[in-house]
Structure 1
Amino acid sequence: MTDPVLRLAAIEKTYKKGKPGEVRVLRGAALSIDPGEVVALVAPSGAGKSTLLHIAGLLDTPDGGTVEIGGARMDTLSDRRRTAMRRSALGFVYQFHHLLPEFTAEENIALPQLANGAARAAARERARALLDSVGIADRAGHRPAALSGGEQQRVAFCRAMANAPRLLLADEPTGNLDPATSDRVFAALMQVVRDTGLSALIATHNLELAARMDRVVQLEDGLLREGAREQA
């Protein structure tokens, strides 16, 4: 039996909020994502979806519970090993693209590969191939300021894919785009995810986009439940 790409078990997370006390954001949240599965994460604002994504992406540690990637425990690793795992196995896309403004689209995608030890020529070749896969190969030499919002987000998606991750984590990846552009960017994202057999956990408020994924999970009251309400 193949191990899930991601398994979260009994995840707990509490934040101190000044004098009033503590806020318990996650209360035993559990989730398993199989290879090639694309899961939508739907949650009301402030419910803790970003916290959950940060824990799944090894950017934060839970107060309790376990995090596994490919059957291996992650929550007990040293900071150095967690960083190495993020570089090699995980890809991140956020609502805002966070591209480096002084570099071209191609260079923004090549940089994570260079940081992971890739040769410069190979990194540039993969960057161009990724840009071609989302339909903007002709924008490879443009800096972010010369790109539209949809183009910037597609570059950010390609950057997340640069090191061929096993799991893609996306936090409202089309939330800053108009509906028509959002649909085009999401379609490009899903096409590449399907073509590569990648697993993904994608947070979105858009239930139409969520319905196009394999499964929808709702985060509410610190727990994950299958399905989503009509209003997120």
Structure 2
Amino acid sequence: MNDVTLRLNGLTKTYLKGTPGEVQVLRGADLELRAGEAVALVAPSGAGKSTLLHIAGLLDTPDVGTLEIAGQDATGKGDRTRTAIRRRDVGFVYQFHHLLPEFSALENVALPQLANGVAERAAEARAMDLLSRVGVAERARHRPAELSGGEQQRVAFCRALANSPRILLADEPTGNLDPGTSDQVFDALMSLVKDTGLSALIATHNLDLAARMDRVIRLEGGMLRPAE
């Protein structure tokens, strides 16, 4: 059985093509991500980490190259198909939580499920289970403004996993937290990844956190290479 959940092959991406300010961000990037694997993506600022994650999550398209998600070729697909794949198979976490401020933690995690047609009771049960796994179940009825930064980010992790995606893409998920909170939140994220068996590609500047993942890759010169 093929356990590759994400395959990127020969991705290139250039911005401002044909202009004096042209920037080639990706120059033939290749990557395979396997089920249950947590991979750290490290690179200098401006090297293209966010671009790579956006392409991997079907929020952007490469100029050249192919992309497979959960065995399905997503290269060159239309917006409707890309959206369907993204909703089914991909979860996103960003540096800032982007929780909906008018809804409770429980509601923020239930809403993506409701949008996918899950019944309200089942969606809330799933949300509470996820919140329990990361230690914020007692805060389920609180709105984001009533939560600490670490609690907000844990809720964001739960929201990203609400629809049981195959792949989690995270862009500096602990970047706005203090070191102690960052460690706690990272541990909660890794626990979720291992408990659910999904794949995770996590961009981070924190080399200590990167070293705790299954492997580390570096984006440099538009190419992906194993970190030394």
TM-score range, shorter chain: over 0.9
Amino acid of the residue matched to residue 6 of structure 1? Answer: L
Residue 124 of structure 1 corresponds to 124
Residue 53 of structure 2 corresponds to 53
Q: Choose 198-207 or 9-18, whichever is displaced more.
A: 9-18
Residue 163 of structure 2 corresponds to 163
| CA RMSD after TM alignment | 1.2
Amino acid of the residue matched to residue 210 of structure 2? Answer: A
User: Are residues 1:220 and 2:187 paired?
Assistant: no
Q: How many Å separate the matches in 2 of 1:18 and 1:140? A: 51
Q: How many Å separate the matches in 2 of 1:9 and 1:141? A: 44
What is the CA distance between 1:70 and its match in structure 2? Answer: 1.8
SS in 2 for 1:201: strand
Q: How many Å separate the matches in 2 of 1:100 and 1:17? A: 36
The 8 Å contact of residues 54 and 60 in structure 2, kept in 1 or not, is answered as yes
The 8 Å contact of residues 11 and 29 in structure 2, kept in 1 or not, is answered as yes
What is the CA distance between 1:3 and its match in structure 2? Answer: 4.3
Q: How many Å separate the matches in 1 of 2:224 and 2:177? A: 27
The 8 Å contact of residues 217 and 225 in structure 2, kept in 1 or not, is answered as yes
Aligned positions of 1:64-103 closer than 5 A: 64-103=64-103
What is the CA distance between 1:20 and its match in structure 2? Answer: 2.2
Q: How many Å separate the matches in 2 of 1:17 and 1:141? A: 49
Q: How many Å separate the matches in 1 of 2:175 and 2:158? A: 17
Q: Choose 17-26 or 204-213, whichever is displaced more.
A: 17-26
SS in 2 for 1:32: strand
Map Cα deviations across residues 51-75 of structure 1 (whole Å, 9 max, x no partner): 0000000000100000101221112
Residue 13 of structure 1 corresponds to 13
Task: Report the number of matched residues.
Answer: 228
User: Are residues 1:153 and 2:153 paired?
Assistant: yes
Structure 1 stretches of 4+ moved >6 Å: none
What is the CA distance between 1:76 and its match in structure 2? Answer: 2.0
Task: Could you tell me which runs of 5 or more consecutive residues in structure 2 were left unpaired when the two chains were aligned.
Answer: none
SS in 1 for 2:4: coil
Amino acid of the residue matched to residue 155 of structure 2? Answer: V
Task: Could you tell me which runs of 5 or more consecutive residues in structure 1 were left unpaired when the two chains were aligned.
Answer: none
Residue 173 of structure 2 corresponds to 173
